[in-house]
Each structure stands twice: as structure tokens, then as C-alpha cells.
């Protein structure tokens, strides 16, 4: 596997285009961005703006009906066009992903401990006995106090928050350089969400890992990330520090998002604002598509 080239960022995406199907409907258009080692970048945007497609392109997990051009380099290794063998080495060794819905990402027929151990075995060749202690340690590190019991449980025996932590343990156990999180806490209630985000924050720090964090929610992104990038209609329309983007949003969509986050300005009895109250995205999309 290629080693890091001096000066090259950990993740470098250049002119990435992704479209789908025979009609080549664009999902990501001319996307370029970089992420340095240990950096944490939030990726926000309305539904369908291309956030998940971007993360799947970085992981080399796009479906067969996707047409891809451009370049995605992780640790100076090109993802686009790489073989399955090269990609599976990169995934787990260098990058990993936490998905929104752990129930679909976890194998229902395997205990949680075995699933974490499997990641260790595949990427570090750990022996089964040695893996058990490493797995229990990792489950403890993601805030599961009864780690030994959780290791022996099947996914359906756990709560949503516990399952999400098991996924996080799988994503972090090999100390990857880059962790991609796609709406990891959207399905959780607010207090569990806050705890899971805190654990993620601590574990990213401990591993010195970079993070690409996808969310609809600026408040969630600001708990984990240093910077935020806003996607709209398959393109990046804005990037800056959390303080910059919250304090002085530039794009119409971002202005709407920041305005809707100001719940303190909502009078009792008034309906909650939505982005469309501040910005007509549909009209702009129609304009761009013409
Ligand atoms: N497998 C697929 N086949 C066809 N079109 C797809 C496929 N996956 C995604 N798309 C399309 O690509 C566009 C971008 O989708 P993507 O899932 O990246 O959006 P998103 O910003 O992550 O949205 P959300 O916040 O709702 O998850 C959408 O128009 C979507 O319909």
C-alpha cells in the first residue's frame, strides 16, 4: 500500500463527479476538497445534496450503477478504480465508516464481540484469544460499561445507543487515520445522542484520527467538528470554521439553516421555521438545471 507523501493531505478529493443510471443523473458535481490528518470536517446539506454519495465514493462503496470520474486519494492511495482487494485493505486499516442505522450495518447472526473481533482479525491477523481482551477493552472505551456482556450479545438484544457504540468500536478498533460518520446519531434520542457524540469526540482525539462527519444538523456538527462544508445540489457551496459559517453564512441554504437553528427567537405558539422560509432552493435548482 502506498505510504503518505510528505505534504499531501490525508484525504484529497479532486473534480469528483458521480452520476447514476443510464440517464446519468448527477449526484455529485465537480467536488474538490481536502482533509488534513486529525482534522474534523462536517458535511451538511439538504436531503439529496450528495453527502452520502460523497462518503461512499471516499470509501469505494458506490453501487454498480454509479458512474464516477475524478480522483479520491486517501493516504496518497487512489480509491477510484482500485481493486476490491486494495479497497478492503484501505477500509479498516486507513479508513472506516459509522453508518446511520446500525441494525442494517451489523450482522444479526453474529455476537457483537465477534463482529468487532472480525475487524481485528481481518486487518491485524489477531489470534481469537488475544482478540477477546482487545474487543472488551474497545467496547469499554466507547462507553459500554458491561462490555463483557455486550460482547456476548446479539445486535437485536441491545438498545439503539448501544448498537451505535458497537459500530463505533468496529470503526475505531484498528485506529484508522480517517473515520467517516454518516448521520451516526440521527436515530437516537437527544440525551443518548449527546453521550454518543462525546464518546466519538474522545475516541477520535485518542486515536488522532481525522473525521468526515455527515449530518443535517449544524448543532450536532459543531459538537464534533472544527470546520464545516455545505453541499447543495451536488456541489460544495461554502466551507469555513464552525464559528465563521454560523456567524456569517454566505449561501442561501446555509443562511436558512442558521436562521432555523435560532430556536430562541421563536415566540411561544409560533410554528418552527424551516429553511424554505428564508430561501427558495427549489427555484434556484430549477434555474441551475435549465
Ligand atoms: N444507488 C443510487 N441510485 C440512483 N440514485 C442514487 C443512488 N444513491 C443516491 N442517489 C441519488 O443521488 C443524489 C444524492 O444522494 P445522497 O444520498 O448523497 O444525498 P444526501 O445528501 O446524503 O441525502 P440525505 O441527507 O437524505 O441522506 C440523490 O438525488 C439520490 O437520489
Q: Is the pLDDT of residue 64 over 50?
A: yes
The CATH fold assigned to 11-265 is Rossmann fold (3.40.50)
pLDDT-derived band at 1 (thresholds 50, 70, 90) equals very low
Distance 49 CA to ligand 1 centre (A): 7
Q: Is the ipTM of this complex over 0.90?
A: yes
Question: What 3 state SS string does the chain have?
Answer: CCCCCCCCCCEEEEEEEEEECCCCEEEEEEEEEEECCCCEEEEECCCCCCHHHHHHHHHCCCCCCEEEEEEEEECCEECCCCCHHHHHHHHHHCEEEECCCHHHHCCCCCCHHHHHHHHHHHHHCCCHHHHHHHHHHHHHHCCCCCHHHHHCCCHHHCCHHHHHHHHHHHHHCCCCCEEEEECCCCCCCHHHHHHHHHHHHHHHHHHCCEEEEEECCHHHHHHHCCEEEEEECCEEEEEEEHHHHHHCCCCHHHHHHHHHHCHHHCCCCCCCCCHHHCCCHHHHHHHHHC
Mean pLDDT score, 112-119: 92
Least confident residue range of 115-119, 175-179, 182-186: 182-186
Which tens digit of pLDDT belongs to each residue from 71-97? 999 999 999 999 998 998 888 789 999
Distance 53 CA to ligand 1 centre (A): 6
Q: Is the pLDDT of residue 2 over 60?
A: no
Residues with CB under 6 A from ligand 1: 20-21, 27, 45, 47-53, 63, 65, 216
Name which residue sits closest to atom 11 of ligand 1, judged by CA.
27
Domain positions in the chain: 11-265
Name which residue sits closest to atom 6 of ligand 1, judged by CA.
20
pTM of the full predicted structure?
A: 0.87
Amino acid at each position: 500500500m502506498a505510504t503518505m507523501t510528505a505534504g499531501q493531505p490525508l484525504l484529497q478529493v479532486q473534480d469528483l463527479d458521480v452520476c447514476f443510471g443510464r440517464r446519468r443523473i448527477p449526484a455529485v458535481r465537480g467536488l474538490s476538497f481536502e482533509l488534513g490528518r486529525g482534522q474534523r470536517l462536517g458535511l451538511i446539506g439538504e436531503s439529496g445534496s450528495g453527502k452520502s454519495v460523497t462518503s461512499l465514493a471516499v470509501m469505494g462503496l458506490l453501487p454498480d450503477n454509479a458512474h464516477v470520474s475524478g480522483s479520491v486519494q486517501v493516504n496518497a492511495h487512489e480509491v477510484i478504480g482500485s481493486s476490491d482487494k486494495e479497497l478492503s485493505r484501505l477500509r479498516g486499516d486507513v479508513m472506516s465508516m459509522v453508518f446511520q442505522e446500525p441494525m442494517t450495518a451489523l450482522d444479526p447472526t453474529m455476537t457483537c464481540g465477534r463482529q468487532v473481533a472480525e475487524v481485528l482479525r481481518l486487518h491485524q491477523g489477531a489470534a481469537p484469544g488475544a482478540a477477546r481482551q482487545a474487543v472488551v477493552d474497545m467496547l469499554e472505551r466507547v462507553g459500554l460499561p458491561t462490555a463483557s456482556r455486550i460482547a456476548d450479545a446479539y445486535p437485536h438484544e441491545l438498545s439503539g445507543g448501544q448498537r451505535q457504540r458497537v459500530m463505533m468500536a468496529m470503526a475505531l478498533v484498528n485506529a484508522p487515520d480517517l473515520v467517516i460518520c454518516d448521520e451516526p446519531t440521527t436515530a437516537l434520542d437527544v440525551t443518548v445522542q449527546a453521550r454518543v457524540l462525546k464518546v466519538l469526540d474522545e475516541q477520535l482525539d485518542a486515536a488522532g484520527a481525522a473525521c468526515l462527519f455527515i449530518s443535517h444538523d449544524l448543532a450536532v456538527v459543531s459538537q464534533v467538528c472544527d470546520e464545516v462544508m455545505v453541499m447543495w445540489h451536488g456541489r460544495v457551496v461554502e466551507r469555513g470554521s464552525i464559528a465563521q459559517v454560523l456567524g456569517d453564512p454566505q449561501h442561501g441554504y446555509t443562511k436558512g439553516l442558521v436562521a432555523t437553528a435560532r430556536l430562541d427567537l421563536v415566540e411561544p405558539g409560533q410554528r418552527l421555521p424551516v429553511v424554505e422560509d428564508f430561501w427558495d432552493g427549489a427555484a434556484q435548482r430549477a434555474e441551475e438545471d435549465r
